[in-house]
Structure 1
Amino acid sequence: MKGATAVIGSLPSATGALALDIYRMSMRFGSFTALDGVSMKVAPGTVHALLGENGAGKSTLVKCVAGFQRPSEGSIVIDGREQAVANPVVARALGIGMVYQHFTLAPGMTVAENLLLAGGKTPALIDWTQKRAELEAFLQSTPFRLDLDARPLDMAAGEKQKLELLKQLYLKPRLLILDEPTSVLTPQEADEVLGHVRDFARAGHCTVLIITHKFREVMAYADDVTVLRRGKAVHATSVPATDPARLAQAMVGDAAAARPEGPETASKAPATGIVLAQAAVEGAAQTASLEVQGLRVMGDRGTLAVHDLSLSVLAGEILGVAGVSGNGQRELVEALVGQRARAAGAVRVGGEPYAATRGENHRLKVRSLPEEPLRNACVGDLSVAENMALRDFDRPPLYAGGRLRFGLWRSRAREWIKGYGIKTQGENAPIRSLSGGNVQRAVLARELHGEIRVLVAANPVFGLDFAAVKEIHTRLRGVAQQGAAVLLISEDLDELLELADRIVVMSEGRVVFETAAAGAQRQVLGSHMGGGHHQPSTGSSV
């Protein structure tokens, strides 16, 4: 802290919009490189958009700027002077404020109290008459009108997001970082918020760096844009010099590498994504292994995350679900596998209603490969053998005569460890001691054991090395070839294009596009992922 204090004492007390230069920034976590030599210039008094798929490095970059992480290499230059942003306190002293993707409010305190807490210098005794007058004057200078006596626990999601922004504006930041600021706002609220943010920047009050996945917001409100892909800055331009199609291409890779959509594949494309989804559900009811109709799911913030979603997956088919992170995919998966309640809609497996109970999973032969398996599919302190037995520990042959047969648990685990190439100290080692790829192999062994009718896989290779990715992809293909319906949710278009038979795109909780994978065009998929309106020459659009 002494070092931080010394740094803060030497910081300039400049006001107004700052100039930010990121120079060759890299960030490594062990063998994983989250940022790879990224350079970026953000001009003072501008709105600079940061685009990229999930895992591209966007959040890592802004966390380094805001002092939450120290980059492995590279420099942060503010107004032409290199700064060591050692922690958020230093960042605050430099005039850097950040509105996070997740709420950071004190829910039981009033709007006034939340605003005062944001300053970090709240006195022991507060002259509320004076402070309320100051806060009222502050609110008169902002685009939002919130009741100073209201409490976040009684607010709608949009009001909470406005309060998060007000907290930062109250501190008069020189650089305002916004992480998906409109994710819980209506289109009208989003336009209101971004319009005023743009006005603040153009008036010279602050510089704005905004992470978003919506091309419409970039085109309407940003001055410049930088696209990250797999930890590298692959595209930087002024907004007037680009369009959603080019931004989509930069996000998802070289469109020329995609398979062209010719007459044969084009003729198979549906008129619209929704029509195809409904036709699949209605016309293929006799052969669909998984059917989802009108599904509605609430998100963590009390708003709908999945809106009247319908899809079906046939036996032997891999249906890929594409989308930028935060568009309802996680909530969809959790609702399908029983980790989140369904607000409305129906799910059927093999024509039977499916509520994702443990008994139904066994009877209807449903399996799942969740993202972050150590957190979502394992008990970390239990052994590898015990985790491998979670599906059937109470069924023969692992259970017989009123007794758990631990010897069989362990012997089967040894077979699976060998068969799946799992690197572990043995079947009795705690599963949390394994690397991510080996945890995923252990979960695969458990979930792919026996007959499978439906497999739900969510980002099954995220963060894994090349060898693990290749092996898991091979096994997923094998599951489909044996007649199972595979629902593959992934934020990696390369993975979907390689594995899927059909691809649907989710945006803002809805299926907005659908096409055969054989004729899919990356830039078209990317445009729909970003909420853009680029129309394909053939295919479907909603």
Structure 2
Amino acid sequence: EVQAGHLSVLLITHKFREVLAFTDEVTVLRKGQLAGHGVVADLTVADMARMMLGADRVTKAVDKLPWADARPVLTVSRLAAMKDNDLPAFGPLDLTVHSGEIVGIAGVSGNGQRELVEVLAGQRPSSTGLVQVNGTPYRATRREMVRHGVYALPEEPLRNACVPSMTVAENMALRTFDRPPQARGRLWLMLSAIRQAALGLIQDFGVKTPSPETPIQNLSGGNIQRTVLARELSSPAVNLLIAANPCFGLDFSAVDQIHNAIVEARNRGVAVLLVSEDLDELLALSDRIFVISDGQLVYEGKAAEADIADLGHKMAGH
């Protein structure tokens, strides 16, 4: 119908591969204004990137550095959990993540990854097994997460890690609002301290928001993710980061920034569990990689030595 001239299609996307695969012409908007237009066959990805950003892409990847003092931070032993319909979601699983290491978990959506992250984040009970952080049994209560320095960058952060109607500053303070200098005693919130902390994080993590008082639900997906990332990684106490599809649906500038922040945390000795459906992301960031299929870990190996075809077969259940 399209090729015959009987149908026109308007595709709104920020994925270059979709533009290249499906469109004849492209128009780029930046900050609500026309930034460029052209025939796709005459443009390169670099051309479109310049239209999107207004300049050449300058983000520099952060190199993964060797971490000599590796120790087990997250240890999962025979862990299992149920789905919402009371059928098995995953398990039993055994898994260890060390300090200064990114462990990636690859898999097709619906194979138990979401439920695993929810168990580790305290949003779903386990049915069997044991989780330990720093050698201590861990049940993912808020008190334990604070004590052990467990932080999370979940999938769908607006739904799972934010209060949509609250401001950017208030959401950035969800980890710290009950401690000085943002709190005085048990009853008094120091709003000026909360705002000042938010201003610093907004600048450090490049969050684009009209003000700290803007409701977080008004931000773009990339800036919501940056806000959560700022909150979760700004603490010097972070010891374990659990990230689930952290860059899903984001433009490449946000992806670069989030990837770099995750690697920088790893280089500081943070243990990172990265669950993603993006195999390229996992291979670029991970030190070790697992594949989960039908709730079981069916592959483990060094990411640098992984064969993409083999991973694909494992992900497909072969």
- TM-score grouping bracket, smaller chain normalisation: 0.7 to 0.9
Give the CA deviation at 1:312: 0.4
Structure 1 position 419, deviation (Å): 1.1
Out of 254, 277, 289, the residue aligned to residue 73 of structure 2 is 289
Structure 2 counterpart of 1:345: 129
CA gap of 1:27–1:342, structure 2 versus 1, over 3 A, is: farther
Evaluate the alpha carbon distance shift between residue 382 and residue 482 of structure 1 in structure 2; reply closer, same or farther with a 3 A threshold: same
AA matched with 1:329: Q
Q: Percent identity, aligned pairs only? A: 50
- Structure 2 counterparts to residues 203-282 of structure 1, below 5 A: none
- Who is 2:291 aligned against? 505
CA offset digits 1:352-377 (Å, max 9, x no partner): 11111111111000000001111110
Rounded to whole Å, the distance in 1 between the matches of 2:253 and 2:218 is 20
The reply on whether 1:304 has 2:88 as its aligned counterpart is: yes
CA contact (8 A) 1:298 1:343 kept: yes
CA contact 2:15–2:251 (8 Å) conserved in 1: no
SS at match of 1:28: coil
**1:26–1:34 Cα contact (<8 Å) kept:** no
Aligned residues: 263
Moved over 2 A (4+): 23-38
- Specify which of 225, 231, 234 is matched with residue 449 of structure 1: 234
Structure 1 residue 453: Cα displacement = 1.0
Q: Which runs of 5+ in 2 are unaligned?
A: 1-5, 23-69
Give the structure 1 partner of residue 171 of structure 2.
387
Work out whether 1:486 is the aligned partner of 2:272: yes
TM superposition shift of 1:461: 0.6
Residue type of the partner of 1:376? N
Using the alignment, how far apart are the partners of 2:114 and 2:7 within structure 1?
33
Pick one of 196, 200, 212 that aligns with 1:415.
200
Q: CA deviation at 1:440?
A: 0.5
Contact 2:242 2:274 (8 Å CA) reproduced: yes
The Cα shift of 1:24 comes to: 10
* Inter-partner Cα distance in structure 2 for 1:27 and 1:316: 45
User: 1:321 corresponds to which residue?
Assistant: 105
Distance 2:271 2:13 in 1: 36
CA shift in 2, pair 1:385/1:307, >3 Å: same
Map Cα deviations across residues 332-355 of structure 1 (whole Å, 9 max, x no partner).
000110011111110000001111
Q: Does 1:28 align with 2:21?
A: no
Deviations 1:76-132 (A, max 9, x none): xxxxxxxxxxxxxxxxxxxxxxxxxxxxxxxxxxxxxxxxxxxxxxxxxxxxxxxxx
Q: Whole-Å Cα distance in 1 between the matches of residues 9 and 315 of structure 2?
A: 27
C-alpha distance in 1, partners of 2:267/2:98? Answer: 12
> 1:31 Cα deviation (Å)?
4.1
User: Structure 1 stretch 460-469 or stretch 24-33: which is displaced more?
Assistant: 24-33
Secondary structure of the 2:298 match is strand
User: Relative contact order: is structure 1 or structure 2 higher (C-alpha 8 Å, sep ≥ 6)?
Assistant: 2
SS in 1 for 2:11: strand
- Rg (Cα) greater in structure: 1
Alpha-carbon offset, residue 531 of structure 1 = 0.4
Deviation digits for residues 420-476 of structure 1 (CA, Å, limit 9, x no counterpart): 111111000000000000000100110002221110000001111111111111110
Aligned letter for 2:149? K
Contact residue 26 and residue 33 of structure 1 kept, 8 A: no
Q: TM-score, normalization: structure 2? A: 0.79
SS in 2 for 1:295: strand
Question: How far has the Cα of 1:491 moved from its partner?
Answer: 0.6
Q: Distance in 2 between the 1:371 and 1:457 partners?
A: 8
Task: Note the C-alpha offset of 1:307.
Answer: 1.6
SS in 1 for 2:234: coil
Letter in 2 for 1:317: E
RMSD between aligned residues: 2.0
TM-score normalized by structure 1? 0.47
User: Deviation per CA, 1:279-298, whole angstroms, max 9, x where unpaired?
Assistant: xxxxxxx9210001111110
1:451-490 matches, cutoff 5 A = 451-490=237-276
Q: Deviations over 1:122-161 (max 9, x none)?
A: xxxxxxxxxxxxxxxxxxxxxxxxxxxxxxxxxxxxxxxx
SS across alignment from 1:511: strand
Distance 1:302-1:24 versus aligned 2 partners, 3 A rule = farther
Hey, what's the Cα distance between the residues in 2 that align with 1:393 and 1:335?
25
Task: Report if the CA contact (8 A) 2:291-2:300 is conserved.
Answer: yes
From the superposition, tell whether residues 366 and 26 of structure 1 become closer, same or farther in structure 2 (CA, over 3 Å): farther
In 1, the alpha carbon distance for the partners of 2:111 and 2:16 equals 25
Q: Flag the 1:34–1:327 CA change in 2: closer, same or farther, 3 A.
A: farther
Shift, 1:480, TM fit: 0.7
The one-letter code of the counterpart of 1:321 is I
Determine the C-alpha separation between the residues in 1 that align with 2:8 and 2:264: 41
Deviations 1:257-280 (A, max 9, x none): xxxxxxxxxxxxxxxxxxxxxxxx
TM-superposed deviation, 1:484: 1.0
Q: CA deviation at 1:301?
A: 2.1
**CA distance in structure 1 between the aligned counterparts of 2:293 and 2:109, rounded to whole angstroms:** 9
Structure 1 stretches lacking a partner, 5+ long: 1-22, 39-285, 533-542
Structure 1 distance, partners of 2:11, 2:140, is: 39
Question: Does the aligned pair in 1 maintain the 2:117–2:244 contact within 8 Å?
Answer: yes
* Residue 151 of structure 2, aligned match among 333, 342, 367: 367
